[in-house]
Structure 1
């Protein structure tokens, strides 16, 4: 049930993706909405159509819907089957809903990497200069592991998308190459690294918002690999 909010010059948008961090973000957004006595919105973005979500994704969505109802959110927004970068989708929703503050999860990318290669947050700041951001950090319980910044790897596929590549977790006729995707801990979108084998040598490229950052490297390494078609 929606709560009647007294203040309408402020509004909160919580951006969630798949994983345990989503519930934490929603709770943080609700606290801000209660403090400011303003409307609360929750958004999730996915490249897949809703009816192709697996059981785990569907379970997360149902839980977020429960929280949205429990906290009296104005709306739980699902933008599925999206081919656009997530930052542009978030910007569009934020503009349409007159959002003034956005809650998002922390990326695990190091400060040096952000300086030299940019970050998803920088993309958001460029797309949404009219809103304030609240970046929720993620506690790291594993120390000393070289992969401590990444979740367990999952099988993933590359799909040619104009002059670049994007990752897909479902094998379809459009998929061309196969590898393992390691998602950054704490990020709410598909940021991380994609590893693949070519001529018995392991390669890896960075992924930002579903897309390969250096498509030229991918082309030079794997366009000679037989397609999965």
Structure 2
């Protein structure tokens, strides 16, 4: 349950994009929301559908969502398959959540480099004139050590029981116990990689796959589908 905020005339929105600076921006927004005792929202925008995310993008989104849970952020907003300009998507969220302050990074990735030139800021201000925009300087040299870049694009897959373990399959069947996304290791002819899925409690989980089989154990749960939030 989210804590009841004492001040509702201020609402903060943090906009993150792929790169090592997303967590820093979220923590900056959280600190400001704590000082002001007001609601905090975090959003990211991507032109691709969630199911087309590669391992890198998926891991970033998973980590941001987990961090938002840890910090008791009011809402994590993923706008995937977004064909409109970034400013339009941000403005829509700002309108619907009554946002008064927006935090964006200075140069997280090339897609957001227009931020430093003022074009995105100007576009946002044309859409919503009542917001204050905070541009946080970030360090391009920061590196992320939490991601393994040696995976192919994720594909829909399933796990079914196979004696004392689980076997990965790419065919829908009634005896499948888990549904998720499989990231195959680059350079292997076998199904070796990582299988990611969402538990019935809404937590992202992952297991390693070696030669079609799960390495380790999985606590039994009903059929779980990977859903967009």
Normalised by the shorter chain, which TM-score bucket? Answer: 0.5 to 0.7
* Corresponding position: 1:8 with 2:13: no
The separation in 1 between residues aligned to 2:97 and 2:87, in whole angstroms, is 15
**Change in CA separation of 1:3 and 1:51 when aligned onto 2, cut-off 3 Å:** same
Q: What TM-score, normalized to structure 2? A: 0.56
TM-score by length of 1: 0.56
Q: Find the residue that maps to 1:33 and give its secondary structure.
A: helix
- Whole-angstrom distance in 2 between the partners of 1:2 and 1:39: 10
Per-residue deviation, 1:128: 2.1
Structure 1 match to 2:119: 119
Structure 1 residue 139 displacement after superposition: 3.0
CA RMSD across the alignment: 2.3
Query: 1:48 and 1:71 mapped to 2: Cα distance?
Result: 27
Show the counterpart of 1:180.
none
Count of equivalent residues: 138
* 1:78-117 pair list within 5 angstroms: 78-107=78-107, 114=117
Return 5+ residue gaps in structure 2 as ranges.
143-229
Kept in 2, the 8 Å contact 1:3–1:73? The answer is no
For 1:74 and 1:34, locate their aligned partners in 2 and report how far apart those are by CA, in whole Å: 12
Q: 2:175 maps to which residue?
A: none
**Would you say the 8 A contact 1:41–1:77 is kept in 2?**
yes
Give the Cα separation in 2 of the matches to 1:141 and 1:44.
Answer: 21
Tell me the equivalent position of 1:58.
Answer: 58
| Cα distance in 1 between the residues matched to 2:3 and 2:42 | 14
User: Per-residue displacement from partner, 1:66-100 (whole Å, max 9, x unpaired)?
Assistant: 11111111110111101100100000000000001
Quote the residue 1:68 is aligned against.
68
Shift of the 140–17 alpha-carbon distance from structure 1 to 2, 3 Å rule, reads closer
What is the CA–CA distance in structure 2 between the aligned matches of 1:141 and 1:57, rounded to whole Å?
19
Task: Give CA deviations for 1:96-133 in whole Å, capped at 9, x if unaligned.
Answer: 000011110114969xx94xxx6222222222211111
User: Corresponding residue for 1:133?
Assistant: 133
Q: Distance in 1 between matches of 2:2 and 2:88?
A: 27
Is the CA contact 1:2–1:69 (under 8 Å) kept in the aligned structure 2? Answer: no
